Every structure is written in C-alpha cells, then in structure tokens.
Structure 1
Amino acid sequence: MELGNKERSLVSKVMDGLIAGIVEERYGAVLPPQDILSKEFDVSRTVMREALSMLLARHMLDVRPKIGTRIRPMRDWRMIDEDVVNWRFRSKPDKTFLRDVIEFRGLIEPAACALAATRASAAEIAGIREAFEVLSQTSTDDPNFQTADALLHTRILAASGNQFYQQMAAIIRGALSLVNPILSTRDGGWNNVVAAHGRIVEAIERRAPKEAEAAALAMIEYTADELTRALAPEALEQR
C-alpha cells in the first residue's frame, strides 16, 4: 500500500528519531521490537515498518532470526547516500573515522581542483571566486561559516565536470562539518585554512591544474596535522 503525504512525513520523522537514538547509543546493539518502537514514537506499525525498511536499505540495520533488528557498525553504512552521510556525521567522531575522512578528501579534492582549473567555465570560476570572497569575510563566530565553506567546496566539485566527484559533494560537506569546528579552535588554524583556499582559487583562475592540485593537497595535509595535534592525548587532557 502506497503511503500518503502524512505517512511519508511521519516516516521521515521516525527515521530521524531512530538515527538520533542510534548515534547517541541509546538502543545498544539491538533495536527494541517494532511494537515497542511504534508506541515510543506514537505511530502505526505500518509507518514504523517503512522507517525500518528505509534504514535496512541503507545497510544501517540487519534483521536476524531469534536476535531481532541489529544495528550494524557505522563503517557498514551506505555512505554514498546523502542522508546516511548526514546521519553518520552527527555521531561523535573517533580517530579512525577522522583518518578515513582525511584520506577520502585527499583522494577526491586535489583531483577535482585540478580538473576545475582545466574544465571550469568562466561563470563557474566567477562563482568559485564569489564563494571564496564570502568565506574570507566570514568568521568562525558567524553561524554561517560552515555554509560558506561548504558552498566553495561544492562549487569546485561541480566545476570539475566529473559526475562522480560531483556526487561526492555530500560526503565532503559532511567532512567539513566535522573538521572545521576542531580547526577553528586551533591558534591561527582557520586563518591558515582560508589562506589555503585562496591559493586553490587563484590556481583555478590561472588555469594551473598542477598548482591547484598541490594547493588542495597541502591544505588537506595541514588539516590532518592540526587534527592530529588537537586530538593527541595530552591535548585532550588539557580540555
């Protein structure tokens, strides 16, 4: 039976609630039975069943006989799905996940910047410059600083002309939402990141792909170094 608009809205609400419970580790390893969850969220079993099936399709849950609905490790979640990306980045980061995020960025962004320097149209380059100017004038005290940074990265990925890189924009935005708050607490960290963005933009404007790639790689390596220092045991003890 096809769900109506009201039911679909309820499904989305239930999914968001379930994700919150999962990332906050309120459920443990196995979800409660569907009838209990239906009462918890005050929805019908049909709505709950649909919400759970959506999470199953994203490799977030696993139904096993005599065990129930098991929560799968986050590393198994289908990260190509934008919703899953957003949910995954809501959980408390660990060092392994941060490492994986940096490695992913190191593979995608330098290559995308090089392609943007080669393929971007004049309008796309103007849009990249515009996004950078907004970013450079936005402080970390401004609630929009994350949005400004995400816009710049998204426009560069779009300007690469590579549809696979473009599809990775959600993961990059999620990565930025994770690392930027940490970088903003480092002495001079955010100013250095903005300056690094400027070097990338300038290289793209000059149609210098190798320089754009090198600048992006240098920025990501700097980010990795700062995150390592910020998360070192002695740094955590001082917090």
Structure 2
Amino acid sequence: MVVAKAGVPRSSERLHTAIARDLGVAIAAGEIQPGATLSGEIASSAERSVSRTAYREAVRILAAKGMVESRTRTGTRVSPRARWHILDPEVLGWFLQTRPSEAFVRDLFEVRMLVEPPAAAMAAVRRTPAQLQAMGEALDAMDRHKLSTEPGRAADRAFHDMILAATQNEAIMALSSSVGAAIRWTTLFKHRVQKAPRDPMAEHRRVLGAIAAANEAAAHACMTELVRFALADMQASLAAGA
C-alpha cells in the first residue's frame, strides 16, 4: 500500500481539494504507479490528520477524473494511465506542477495544433467586431503586464479563449478550458525554470492581424507558427529544468 505525503493546503483551498491535488500530483509524477493500492481510508486520514470525510471526498475527485477506482474489499487503486482524463484542467495542472515528460508535452502541443490553427481560420471569417476588440484588448493587457505575472497570463488565456469563442462552434468552445489550462500551466512552467523566457508577443500580434484581415489561410499559418514556437520554448524549458 502507498501513502502519499501530506501537503499544506493553500489558504483559499478546501481541505479535500488540497488532498486530491497532493495525491494527483504524486500520481502524475509517477511516485504512485498505476495498479498501486492506496492505504485505507482510516490510515490515510490519520496520516494526514484530516477527517475520513475529507479524505473520502478527495478520492471521489480523483475517481471522477479517472485516476483511481475504489472497490469493496480491494480498496482504492490507481487506474491505468489510459483511463485518466488527461485534458481535465486540474489533471493538466497536476502533470505540469512536476517535470512533465517530453512525450507528454509533445502530446499536449499536438492537441493544441489540431485545435487552434483551424479555430483561428474559422475565427477570421466568423468573429464579431466585439470579439475582435476583446482579442486586441487581451493582447494589450498581456503586453502591459507580461507573462511573468498572473494578470499577463490571464490576458493570454483570454486571447486564446476569445479565438475559440469566435468560431461560433459550441463543440470547439467547449475545449477552451482544456486549451486554456495547457497554456496557463506550460507558461507557468517556463517562467518557473527560466529567468527570462522568450517573449511570444510578436506571434500573437500576427495571429490577431490575420483574424482582423479576415484572412483564413494567414490566420491558420500564424497560429501554427505560434504553437510551434510555444512548443520549442517549452522544450527549451525542459532542457533548462533538467
């Protein structure tokens, strides 16, 4: 049986959420392997000095994300990786709070490449004047605050969210939380391991210019370039972090 080390909850975080995060990070990092059985509810709650109810709720969060499964008599086991909801925003965050593997980063950016360039092309012909204005304001805020700050990172996510919204496609818009989480956590990772990561403002401005010009092909190409540069930046950060 495995007992994950207890973490310290953030002040704004509920106890069961903090426990789920600690366990989720340990599982994502490979400290607790698929097939491992977690210690029982009584032992785990005692180890962490928390109520059984809080620990039980944490396990339910992990189960809802496909990371563990609880069965009578056999206990709670870590599920095979194929069952994990990898694109869940919280699961992405747990992966990227550790040092993610190059394969995981590649997979993540391949998803971005499948979604964002076509979305930018669609946005170029479907966006409304209000959406275009919101994109411009988001980039102005990103440039003003910089990606080293939370307001700057929030503005970056707002820009990408607005592009997905401008497709006017509900199915694509539903991907915004996953895409936004990938952008947020990879940006945080880059700034955590590098003192001065490359500024990606130029690529963002080119994407906005193509969308403003209603040029589908250019919007697709510019977003493709943006994602490629972002992947290269992340790979450089992985190398620096190593």
Cα contact 2:141–2:155 (8 A) shared by 1 = yes
Cα contact 2:122–2:167 (8 A) shared by 1 = yes
Match of 1:189 among 181, 198, 207: 198
Give runs of ≥4 in structure 1 deviating > 6 Å: none
Cα contact 1:186–1:226 (8 A) shared by 2 = no
Q: Does 1:200 align with 2:207?
A: yes
Equivalent position amino acid for 2:198 in 1:
G
Equivalent position amino acid for 1:16 in 2:
R
Cα contact 2:207–2:223 (8 A) shared by 1 = yes
* Aligned twin of 1:6: none
DSSP 3-state at the match of 1:69: strand
Sequence identity percentage: 28
* CA displacement 1:3-35 (0-9 Å, x = unmatched): xxxxxx554343234334434655563311111
DSSP 3-state at the match of 1:189: coil
* CA displacement 1:152-194 (0-9 Å, x = unmatched): 111211122122221212222222234335656497721xx21
- RMSD (CA atoms): 2.9
Deviates more, 1:175-184 or 1:141-150: 175-184
Q: Distance in 2 between matches of 1:141 and 1:74?
A: 32
* Aligned twin of 2:24: 19
* Alignment map for 1:56-71 (pairs within 5 Å): 56-63=63-70, 68-71=75-78
Cα contact 1:61–1:70 (8 A) shared by 2 = yes
- Tell me the CA shift for residue 111 of structure 1: 1.1
TM-score under structure 2 normalisation?
0.78
Question: Structure 2: which 5+ runs fail to align?
Answer: 1-13
Matched residue count:
225
Q: 1:180 to 1:20 in 2, by over 3 A?
A: closer
Q: Does 1:116 align with 2:123?
A: yes
Cα contact 2:99–2:238 (8 A) shared by 1 = no
Deviates more, 1:139-148 or 1:62-71: 62-71
Q: Distance in 1 between matches of 2:50 and 2:195?
A: 45
